[in-house]
Amino acid sequence: MDNLSNIGVIKEILSDHGFTFSKKLGQNFLINPSVCPKIAEMGNAKKGFGVIEIGPGIGVLTNELCKRADKVVAIEIDDRLIPILEKTLAEHKNVKVIHDDVMNVNLKQLIEEEFEGLDVAVCANLPYYITSPIIMMLLESRLPIKTITTMVQKEAGQRLCAPVGTRDMGAVTVAVNYFSKAKILFNVSRGSFMPAPNVDSCVIQFEVKDTPPMVNDEKYFFKVVRGMFSQRRKTILNCVSGSLGIAKDTVLKAIEQTGLKPSSRPEELSMEELIAFSENLKAFVNLE
C-alpha cells in the first residue's frame, strides 16, 4: 500500500484499528514521505539482497524495502500491529512478518532459512529504548550482514559513529569500530515523526567488516571495554579495578606492560591500545 507516510492515511489506519502509540515500545512512526525511500535506497534494498527490518510499525519503510529488495523479513514485537501489517503489505509477495521480540529471534537461522543465495542488509527505524543493545547484538553475533542502516536519536548517532579515542565515544563505539565502518548518512527532524519525539534523529550506517577477529577472545575484550567505560571519566586504573573487581596491582601490571599511563582516561586510548591492554590483562586474570 502506497501513501503510508501520508499523515491522513496513517491516522485513518490507526483509528480503524483503535491503535494507540506505546511509549514503552518506542513507537514514533515516520510521517515524512521523503525519508523511507532514502533509507531503502542507501540501505542496500536492491536486487540480490534480502533485508531484515526491525520494528516495521504500520509498514511505511517495509513497503519501500519490498519494492526494491528480493525479500524482506520484518520483525515486530507489538501484536496489535500484525493485522495492520497484513493489510498494508498485502500487495507484496516477497515479505514475511515475524511477530516476536528481535532479541529473542535466532537471526543466524533466519538468514540461512530465508535468504539463501542473497546478500543480507538490515534496515530499521529502531525503537530508541533498545537501540544500543540491538546494534551490539547484531554486530557481536558476527552475522553475515553487509550493512546495518538505521534511524537513531541524533546524540546516539554521534556517539555510535564517533572514532575511537574521542570524547563522544562509549563502550558501544568500540564495538562499532571493531566490527564495522560507521557513518552518519543524513539528519531527520523531530517533526518527521508521529508522535514527535523531544529530539532530532539521524540515519546512520554500519558497513560490517568481514575481517577475522582482532583479539583471541572477543568476549573477554568486550567485558574489559564495558568495564572500562562504565565509569569513563575515571582513570583506567580505577575504572578497571573498580568495575571488574580486579586488584589494583594486577591492573597496574597490565597497564605498564601495555605502555600506558595509569592516569589515562578510557576515551584517550586507541583501538590498538585497548586490544593490547585486554590481551595483557588476560595473561594475569580471568573474567567469568
Rule CB under 6 A: which residues touch ligand SAM? 25-30, 54-57, 60-61, 75-78, 81, 101-103, 125, 127, 130
Amino acid at 169: M
Provide the CA 146 distance to its chain's centre, in angstroms.
Answer: 13
User: What backbone torsions phi and psi does residue 250 show, to the nearest 5 degrees?
Assistant: -70, -45
CB of 51 to ligand SAM, least distance (A): 13
CA distance 278 to 88: 49
Q: Which is nearer to ligand SAM, 127 or 227 (CB)?
A: 127
Strand partners, 150: 124, 204
Q: Which is nearer to ligand SAM, 15 or 286 (CB)?
A: 15
CB of 65 to ligand SAM, least distance (A): 10
Nearest alpha-carbon partner for 269 in 245, 249, 239: 239
Q: Which is nearer to ligand SAM, 56 or 157 (CB)?
A: 56
CA distance 208 to 46: 18
Q: Are 127 and 102 spatial neighbours (Cβ–Cβ below 8 Å)?
A: no
CB of 91 to ligand SAM, least distance (A): 18
CB of 117 to ligand SAM, least distance (A): 26
Q: Which is nearer to ligand SAM, 27 or 241 (CB)?
A: 27
Cell 597496574 sits at which residue? Answer: 252
> What is the grid cell recorded at 130?
533498545
CB of 26 to ligand SAM, least distance (A): 5
Q: Which is nearer to ligand SAM, 4 or 251 (CB)?
A: 4
CA distance 223 to 221: 5
